[in-house]
């Protein structure tokens, strides 16, 4: 089967979404307006989700509902009801911004969503925080979105596509207001087993909320099975295991796996460009990386689920076990600061700094240090240059819904070289089971051995594995992800 592209996705939408209003809901907005020296400018956040859904929204002339205020000029650019036409340079669909108070944002977003649901679903041995005021704001904000969306649907036929764990209550709230809407929800993070989920004080409200969906998507089957087991434990429902469906109060929710991905062609094209070649030369010079230097790479939001201290410890163990690599090996880590409003994240930032400092101090010479840690959001072009310089990449998440860095690394390896060391606890590990070197990030010595294995692997084998992983991502790209969901949605009507 030819792989899916933005064009095939557009054609599909023309055929399937016709006659329906298409609404996407996410916490983050697809475009932010900003002031630049007194004049109005805009930014499109580098998010895979926006890349995937932009063609859907453009072709369906849909509506995207999101929390506004991310950009300094968001209010000025929107009308009094929060509407603005986007993309700003080629308006083809509308963004409706929902304004939240600072307190709502603090309690709904940083509170219940990121201090409660995020650690709960990742099982990363951080105790989830459950506070009444967080929960109240979470309910309030979900309600606010439900009202805002219902206003737009009116009596029309509509497909609503909800993103992520910020909106567990929204599907039911919306169904009550608009019984004819077809609602799909994609949960971008893992779903834990019933023993873990049962500690949430509002577990039944959350499950009831999510059972307002027609389709509930997870990255992999395992999370969906966990969800079904959780519902089975907590609510009185009928479960049709053959169809992977749950019937609750006469409404059926189908649970399906849709592994998210990236725009393979676009990443590969940019990675192969002359501009990337130039970047590579620049970086080699700036960091004194001769052609014979063995470079490893990692790139993540600074989040305790990504296993950053564990990764740095593995580099330490590797150099302890194989001191002959001192001076010939560098590990480059890009870390994007994230959710620094939350205490746990602030502590993690300090811990990562401390780990890097300790390992560098232990091995550094006058002209070399083993770890380069850059705490910033690098331009994509620089990230792609690092992916190409590297002999291997490490993704050491303690638990991760999918992990797109693994897929971007593979797409960027236009030379079919490079080894991917990938945590078994990522959704991506299901797809790269036999071609990545799978690791358990909790076992530092074994990860150290995996680094050694990666850099001593026969070139033929490296190539064979990388070629297969590239085929996998090319075929199962983000357009296929979106198209599969839309096909399922359109079958509901
Ligand atoms: C959630 C789930 C799931 C990172 N550093 C830089 C940079 N990045 C980009 C990567 C990648 C993205 O950020 C991170 O995506 P992940 O998938 O790895 O992780 P989460 O942010 O946790 O995403 C995850 C995803 O949702 C989608 O469903 O896969 O499991 O946790 O695209 O490239 N980008 C740039 N500079 C950086 O320094 N430009």
**CA 410 to CA 286: how far, in whole Å?**
25
Residue 5, pLDDT > 90, answer no
| pLDDT value at residue 46 | 66
Q: With bands split at pLDDT 50, 70 and 90, how would you rate the model's confidence at 79?
A: very high
Residue closest to 97 by CA, chosen among 74, 66, 70: 66
> Residue 48's pLDDT band (boundaries 50, 70, 90)?
low
Q: Which of 208-217, 377-386, 453-462 has the lowest mean pLDDT?
A: 377-386
Separation of CA 492 and ligand 1 centre (Å): 31
Give the distance (Å) from ligand 1 centre to CA of residue 471: 21
- pLDDT score of 234: 98
| Ligand 1 nearest atom to the CA of residue 49, by list position | 27
Find the 403 Cα to ligand 1 centroid distance in Å.
Answer: 7
Average pLDDT, the chain: 95
Mean pLDDT is lowest, of 55-64, 127-136, 143-152, 247-256, for: 55-64
Of 43-57, 60-74, 182-196, 389-403, least confident by mean pLDDT is 43-57
pLDDT band at 485 (very low <50, low <70, confident <90, very high): very high
Residue whose CA is at the smallest distance from ligand 1 atom 4: 300
* Ligand 1 binding pocket mutation candidate from 26, 124, 299 (most atoms within 8 A of CB): 299
- Condensed to tens digits (0 to 9), the pLDDT of residues 115-127 reads 999 999 999 888 9
Q: Which of 301, 308, 385 gets mutated to test ligand 1 (max ligand atoms within 8 A of its CB)?
A: 301
Say yes or no to pLDDT of 55 above 90. no
**Tally of CA atoms within 13 A in the half-sphere of 86 that contains its CB:** 30
How far does the centroid of ligand 1 lie from the alpha carbon of residue 194, in Å?
27
Pick the residue whose CA is nearest to atom 26 on ligand 1.
Answer: 188
What is the pLDDT at residue 22? 92
* CA angle in degrees (0–180, nearest 5) for 186-188-190: 115
Q: Pocket around ligand 1: residues whose beta carbon is below 6 Å from it?
A: 46, 48, 188-189, 260, 299-301, 334, 336, 377-378, 380, 383, 400-405, 408
- What are the tokens at 374? 């850059």
- Considering only residues 45 and 425, tell me which one the structure prediction assigns the higher pLDDT: 425
Q: Which atom of ligand 1 is nearest to the CA of 299?
A: 5
Q: What number is the average pLDDT over the span 49-72? A: 87
Residue 450 token pair? 């995996």
Candidate of 404, 412, 432 to mutate for ligand 1, largest count of ligand atoms within 8 Å of Cβ = 404
Reported as a pLDDT band with limits 50, 70 and 90, residue 406 is very high
Residues 300-347: tens digit of each pLDDT: 999 999 999 999 999 999 999 999 999 999 999 999 988 988 889 999
**For ligand 1, atom 39, which residue shows the shortest CA distance?**
380
Tell which one of 45, 334, 403, 409 to mutate to probe ligand 1, the residue whose CB is within 8 A of the most ligand atoms: 403
264-299 pLDDT, tens digit per residue, is 999 999 999 999 999 999 999 999 999 999 999 999
């Amino acid at each position: 089967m030819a792989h899916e592209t933005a064009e095939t996705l557009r054609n599909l939408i023309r055929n399937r979404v016709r006659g329906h209003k298409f609404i996407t809901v996410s916490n983050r907005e697809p475009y932010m307006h900003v002031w630049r020296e007194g004049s109005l400018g805009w930014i499109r956040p580098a998010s895979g989700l926006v890349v995937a859904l932009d063609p859907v929204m453009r072709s369906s002339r849909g509506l995207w509902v999101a929390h506004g205020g991310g950009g300094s000029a968001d209010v000025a650019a929107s009308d009094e009801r929060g509407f603005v036409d986007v993309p700003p340079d080629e308006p083809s669909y509308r963004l409706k911004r929902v304004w939240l108070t600072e307190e709502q944002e603090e309690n709904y977003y940083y509170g219940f969503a990121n201090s409660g649901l995020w650690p709960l679903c990742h099982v990363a041995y951080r105790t989830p925080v459950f506070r009444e005021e967080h929960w109240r704001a979470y309910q309030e904000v979900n309600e606010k979105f439900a009202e805002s969306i219902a206003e737009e649907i009116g009596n029309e036929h509509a497909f609503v596509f909800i993103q992520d764990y910020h909106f567990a209550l929204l599907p039911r709230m919306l169904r009550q207001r608009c019984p004819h809407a077809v609602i799909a929800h994609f949960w971008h993070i893992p779903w834990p087993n019933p023993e873990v989920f049962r500690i949430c004080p509002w577990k039944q409200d959350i499950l009831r909320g999510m059972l307002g969906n027609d389709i509930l998507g997870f990255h992999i089957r395992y999370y969906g099975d966990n969800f079904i087991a959780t519902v089975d434990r907590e609510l009185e429902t009928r479960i049709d295991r053959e169809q992977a469906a749950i019937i609750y109060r006469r409404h059926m929710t189908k649970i399906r796996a849709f592994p998210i991905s990236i725009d393979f062609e676009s990443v590969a094209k940019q990675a192969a460009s002359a501009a990337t070649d130039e970047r590579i030369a620049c970086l080699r010079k700036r960091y004194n990386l001769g052609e014979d230097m063995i470079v490893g790479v990692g790139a993540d939001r600074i989040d305790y689920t990504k296993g950053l201290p564990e990764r740095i410890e593995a580099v330490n163990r590797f150099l302890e076990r194989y001191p002959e690599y001192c001076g010939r090996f560098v590990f480059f880590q890009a870390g994007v600061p994230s959710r620094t409003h939350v205490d746990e994240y602030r502590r993690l930032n300090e811990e990562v700094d401390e780990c890097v400092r300790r390992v560098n101090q232990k091995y550094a010479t006058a002209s070399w240090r083993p770890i380069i840690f850059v705490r910033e959001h690098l331009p994509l072009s620089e990230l792609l240059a690092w992916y190409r310089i590297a002999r291997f990449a490490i993704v050491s998440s303690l638990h991760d819904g999918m992990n797109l860095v693994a897929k971007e690394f593979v797409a960027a390896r236009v030379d079919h070289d490079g080894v991917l060391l990938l945590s078994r606890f990522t959704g991506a590990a299901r797809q790269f089971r036999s071609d990545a070197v799978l690791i358990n990030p909790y076992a530092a010595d074994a990860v150290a051995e995996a680094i050694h294995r990666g850099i001593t692997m026969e070139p033929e084998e490296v190539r064979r594995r990388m070629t297969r992983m590239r085929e996998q991502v090319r075929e199962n790209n983000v357009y296929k992800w979106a198209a599969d969901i839309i096909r399922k949605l359109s079958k509901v009507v």
